[in-house]
Amino acid sequence: MLVALAGQGKTKGMAARLEIDSTLNQSLAAIVPRPSLEYRFLQYWLTSNYLNIRGLAGGDLRDGLNLQHIGSIQVPRPPVDEQRAIAGYLDRETAQIDAFIAKNEELITLLTERRGAAAQSEVEQHVGEGSRLKFQFREIDVRAGSRWEALPMLSVSIHNGVVPRDDDSESSSELSDLSHYKVARSGDIVLNRMRAFQGGLGVAPCTGLVSPDYAVLRPAADVDPDWLALVMRTPRFVGEMVLRLRGIGTTDSGAVRTPRISVADLGEIIVSVPASTVQSAELRAVTTSTDRIEEALSVVRRSVELARERRAALICAAVTGKIDVGVTV
């Protein structure tokens, strides 16, 4: 039996048992435990102690573990029967926690779909009737110039719309000169042209800098930007965007090959814009529904977070002998 330990990339530090013969990529290392080391116990111990492996291995793990690091790790070896008892206990307990997490993740998916359906039911009927969208906005291409140091950075999140961006996530070279970045004013709609069909758009909460590859749209005076952004996130509008994507690849391609929506093509989509009072009423209805759903989502997400913390703490306590798992020696 093998234990695979990920030493690089997004799965760094994850350990898993290999039940069948497998071919591993270069970011995985296969460990063959000796007879005195129960493979399930080793898996749990590696998972619970990865954050401490930097000190145990005595190496710089920014680029992940290497064979030298792995070989220098000191693993405790209680009697094999005790290891098996601990692993059996954790198999049972973590299975219950994992089942709880899985059910709550399903609930998160359902609630997220309900949130989208709430918006869809209120405003989606406006897509496909009326006039071309290009008459309801104008594209803004104002560059920051010398003002860039005084303006906050904004980014477009698929799930959260336009949000302030943490400068710590950017390298110093990227932040050395942002004079070529676009300026989005509070109330402008910012659109990530490569991710708009996945929900990558939103309303700027304040005046700030956005990527020069983003599109900045300023709605007409009688168009509520929050209402229009809501319409642009509906499945029917997204379907219209997908039909107009241009570039190499498909909508399932990676970031390099993903097609983009041009502002000109976006403007050809037909949307009927009701009176301001109707826009406000539809927004209120959506907000009322989605606020309740967001509250439920917050509770469920917190439950999942606590369950994962409980799982990690349980594994750590069991493999270090801090709790009685009913071991009979």
| Tens of pLDDT, residues 211-228 | 999 999 999 999 999 999
pTM: 0.61
Q: Residue 117: pLDDT band by 50, 70, 90 thresholds? A: confident
State how far Cα 26 lies from the chain centre: 25
Place of tokens 């070989």: 71
The hierarchical CATH code for the domain 109-293 is 3.90.220.20
At 20 the pLDDT is 40
Instruction: Say if CB 227 and CB 275 are below 8 A apart.
Output: no
Q: How far apart are CA 225 and CA 185, in angstroms?
A: 12
At 281 the pLDDT is 95
**Residues 288-322: tens digit of each pLDDT:** 888 888 899 999 999 999 999 999 999 999 988 88
Q: How far apart are CA 256 and CA 199, in angstroms?
A: 18
| Cβ partners under 8 Å of residue 67, min gap 6 | 29
At 175 the pLDDT is 57
Helices (H) and strands (E) in the chain, counts: 7, 13
Give me the sheet containing 189-191, strands edge to edge.
Answer: 137-140, 215-219, 189-191, 201-203
At 19 the pLDDT is 42
Instruction: Say if CB 216 and CB 229 are below 8 A apart.
Output: no
Q: Residue 67: pLDDT band by 50, 70, 90 thresholds? A: low
Instruction: Say if CB 112 and CB 297 are below 8 A apart.
Output: yes
Identity of the amino acid at 171: S
Q: Rounded mean pLDDT of 78-102?
A: 93
Q: How far apart are CA 144 and CA 210, in angstroms?
A: 10
Q: How far apart are CA 304 and CA 311, in angstroms?
A: 10
Of 20-24, 89-93, 133-137, least confident by mean pLDDT is: 20-24
Q: Where are the domains of the chain?
A: 2-99+305-319, 109-293
Q: Residue 75: pLDDT band by 50, 70, 90 thresholds? A: confident
Q: How far apart are CA 70 and CA 87, in angstroms?
A: 21
Q: What is the DSSP string of 115-156?
A: HHHHHHHHHGGGEEEEEEGGGGEEEE--B-GGGGGGS-BEEE
Instruction: Say if CB 94 and CB 76 are below 8 A apart.
Output: no
Q: pLDDT exceeding 70 applies to what percent of the chain?
A: 75
**Residues 31-62: tens digit of each pLDDT:** 667 777 888 888 888 777 655 555 554 545 45
State yes or no: pLDDT of 81 exceeds 60. yes
What's the angle, vertex CA 287, arms to CA 260 and CA 277, rounded to 5?
90
Q: Rounded mean pLDDT of 249-271?
A: 74
The neighbouring-strand residues paired with 4 are 16, 30
